[in-house]
Amino acid sequence: MSKIKPSKGAPYARILGVGGYRPTRVVPNEVILEKIDSSDEWIRSRSGIETRHWAGPEETVAAMSVEASGKALADAGVDASQIGAVVVSTVSHFSQTPAIATEIADRLGTDKAAAFDISAGCAGFGYGLTLAKGMVVEGSAEYVLVIGVERLSDLTDLEDRATAFLFGDGAGAVVVGPSKEPAIGPTVWGSEGDKAETIKQTVPWDRFRIGDVSELPLDSEGNVKFPAITQEGQAVFRWAVFEMAKVAQQALDAAGISPDDLDVFIPHQANVRIIDSMVKTLKLPDHVTVARDIRTTGNTSAASIPLAMERLLATGDAKSGDTALVIGFGAGLVYAATVVTLP
């Protein structure tokens, strides 16, 4: 018989507050068109993107995270000293170690909170939310801060016609804490590593250490290109439309609800055509509010879901207590979907 005492966590967990930060610089499609052969009409029709935000020198991954987190803490009515863990999902923090979460935890004024980064691409927020729920229910932390943050402008090849217009920067954060009733449903998540080549970094970091630049990609001026994100657009589109709709339905089933029970749908903001196709496949009723934050924010990977959530609540398009289906999917290929009660 085990001598270990049972955990004393909360019966359930919920999102208590949400906050977002968008860099001050707004970049219209016209800026993107300076280096690629395309048009504003083509970009809008293919992706839905009209503008995106790009971070300036002072808007670092840590700085944006601190801003978004401060708003989330205030929204939740929770002091930073009460945070027991900080989970940061990002692929654009370029220092291998230490985790940027430790710096963020310190700058926020937490009391030695556990802090770590995760790399799950555009599904990273869902992964972090699932971990946070487990910590609150298990009892290892009463309140957990989950952050999705990206400076994808640093990983964008502005001469790549397929991806130059896609990516934006920003940070979104939520505070997860105890609840007396279910407010974060079971997570349906997974990976399909056999499709890893469809979204990837163009060049691994160690190629620069080797010193042989003969096979590294060059820009139009003959300079070695910094590693960037590349993708096979059609393959990703088909996978997202057909496979992720199935995952979204599984999340609804796991939560014991139907599309008619939903108030809000917040998918990863990858492409407005993917979003519209998922809405159609899931047969979501007209009363369901659908996040299309991508139009003015672009694809911000791990930050896209909390940023979209924050905007819907701020504009009144969604309200506290609404039932929302959230799903993230991307590089890996990885995915995570769950049903939540909005803060």
Catalytic residues: 122, 268, 299
Query: Around Cβ 156, how many Cβ atoms within 10 Å?
Result: 23
**Is the distance from CB of 153 to CB of 54 less than 8 angstroms?**
yes
246 Ramachandran zone, left/alpha/beta (phi>0; psi -120 to 50): alpha
For residue 175, list its beta bridge partners: 17, 145
Cα distance between residue 242 and residue 222, in whole Å? 40
Q: How many residues does the chain have?
A: 343
Query: Other C-beta atoms within 10 Å of 268: how many?
Result: 32
Angle between helix axes 272-282 and 233-255 (nearest 10 degrees) is 40
Q: How many Cβ atoms are within 10 Å of 59's Cβ, its own excluded?
A: 21
Residue with tokens 């016609």: 161
Q: Three-state DSSP class for 279?
A: helix
How many Å separate Cα 221 from the centre of its chain? 34
Residue 339 DSSP SS3: strand
